[in-house]
Structure 1
């Protein structure tokens, strides 16, 4: 069973945000694309480092090598942000990271690229799961915290709409469930204001969001990491629960040889 040292992890991505550049000065389409790509790579490193105690050979490695490493899919090798693969398992765990960082100039909302991001996630999940149905796939979509505040009478906030859209991309509990689904999907909300710059929390899209405003209950980064580890364990090291004893890892009971009756 995988174990993580998640409890000691900082709940802040300020370093990753600053490494991606100055968001306030990122205005052209090309600049925004470069910002998103660099932020995703930095966040992939953060996730891999956080999961490394549970998955020692996870990529990218501690030196940063293995960014967007390749894993076998039904359509050949495809790049994966965070990749834990072994000879025995093939792809055991994959984490896909999407960042949507800028409001649309016309609508003043973050929702313009949701369809594109969902399409990319659908293709990733399908291609990996068709080839390796036991792989555990997790998606994390990052939004600025103020995505919670742009709702109105006729529309939920950008955050609320994100939960509506990406909920259809999750819920794969069994290897026989549809390949296009992820096992888990979370929305990460990061604070871009200087006072709390980089503070981040996470929301499971299977939970009930407020129509507008920030959710009352969120996961910290350490809690998210633990959720990922536990999701992996449920697929690969399921636990059997007794009524009168502590749960234990599922093992096949010993087989007794049949004896002929006298």
Structure 2
């Protein structure tokens, strides 16, 4: 079936189509393969969206450098999106999880939340113990109809926010290494008329118990928020009471403490 074109700036249609035709997948193996291809495609998309601010980020523009390696407290491990430099070590990492199909028994998406959260906890800990200044961001993708299955319990989307909220919120390098600096839920359309359209939700916000969030972000706004989290750690804002704010990009040197040449 020919699907109408979606807005490429706020759509993951190309990534979903690369992963394959969803309706034909019936086995656990085929669904697992679908998730792996989709995650790699999304990793390239995120790296490309971030590349202007983070030159050298992996994967590269052609998708080379998938699951690039970075040092952890337990040796070298793979990372979906990896911005590392000689000066910083690991500066920014983005971990992507996709939960794409309802559980046949419950009709909900919640079956794999605990597993995904456990994987994220281990990943955050491994990187942060060795590199506490690294900024780690998690993005968990769900079909947007996860917002529509609430009955007595919250929707699958609402439950995702409840679970993954406790995996985010690491504001300082001294905070719990098991946490990510920020966690977002990506909600993508599977309906043919709007296939691939996507919005993002910050798990720190209050979700609706049932239905779709009204204060979700676009892809561009998400990229801005990831960059803001990185800047908070590496280029913090300094506010003057009577002047414009400054972005601190280098260690400050007190001019009264500068040592003249030849001074002991």
Measured against aligned partners, the alpha-carbon deviations of 1:148-169 in whole angstroms (never above 9, x if no partner) come to 00001x2000000000000010
Q: Which has the higher contact order (CA 8 A, sep 6+)?
A: 1
Question: Given that residues 109 and 150 in structure 1 are in contact (C-alpha distance below 8 angstroms), is that contact kept between their aligned partners in structure 2?
Answer: yes
The match for 1:254 is 254
Q: CA deviation at 1:63?
A: 2.0
The match for 1:155 is 153
Q: CA deviation at 1:9?
A: 7.2
Q: Using the TM superposition, name which of 53-62 and 246-255 deviates more.
A: 246-255
Q: CA deviation at 1:246?
A: 1.2
The match for 1:88 is 87
The match for 2:167 is 169
Give the TM-score normalised by structure 2.
0.93
The match for 2:13 is 14
The match for 1:244 is 242
The match for 2:23 is 24
The match for 1:3 is none
Runs of 4+ in 1 over 4 A off after TM superposition: none
Measured against aligned partners, the alpha-carbon deviations of 1:2-28 in whole angstroms (never above 9, x if no partner) come to xxxxxx970000000000001111110
The match for 2:72 is 73
The match for 1:143 is 142
The match for 2:43 is 44
User: What runs of 5+ residues in structure 1 fail to find an aligned partner?
Assistant: 1-7
Q: Provide the secondary structure at the position in 2 that maps to 1:104.
A: coil
Measured against aligned partners, the alpha-carbon deviations of 1:109-143 in whole angstroms (never above 9, x if no partner) come to 00000000000000000000000000000000000
* CA–CA distance in structure 1, aligned partners of residues 225 and 57 of structure 2: 17
The match for 1:221 is 219
Q: Using the TM superposition, name which of 11-20 and 241-250 deviates more.
A: 241-250
Correspondence 1:64 to 2:75: no
Correspondence 1:199 to 2:197: yes
Aligned length: 250
| Cα-Cα RMSD | 1.3
Q: Provide the secondary structure at the position in 2 that maps to 1:140.
A: strand
Give the TM-score normalised by structure 1.
0.93
Q: CA deviation at 1:256?
A: 1.2
* CA–CA distance in structure 2, aligned partners of residues 249 and 44 of structure 1: 29
* CA–CA distance in structure 1, aligned partners of residues 69 and 62 of structure 2: 17
* CA–CA distance in structure 2, aligned partners of residues 215 and 253 of structure 1: 46
Question: Given that residues 58 and 84 in structure 1 are in contact (C-alpha distance below 8 angstroms), is that contact kept between their aligned partners in structure 2?
Answer: yes
Measured against aligned partners, the alpha-carbon deviations of 1:141-190 in whole angstroms (never above 9, x if no partner) come to 000000000001x2000000000000010000000000000000000000
Q: Provide the secondary structure at the position in 1 that maps to 2:162.
A: helix
Q: Provide the secondary structure at the position in 2 that maps to 1:77.
A: strand
Distance 1:214 1:254, change over 3 A: same
User: What runs of 5+ residues in structure 2 fail to find an aligned partner?
Assistant: 1-6, 259-264
Q: CA deviation at 1:253?
A: 5.0
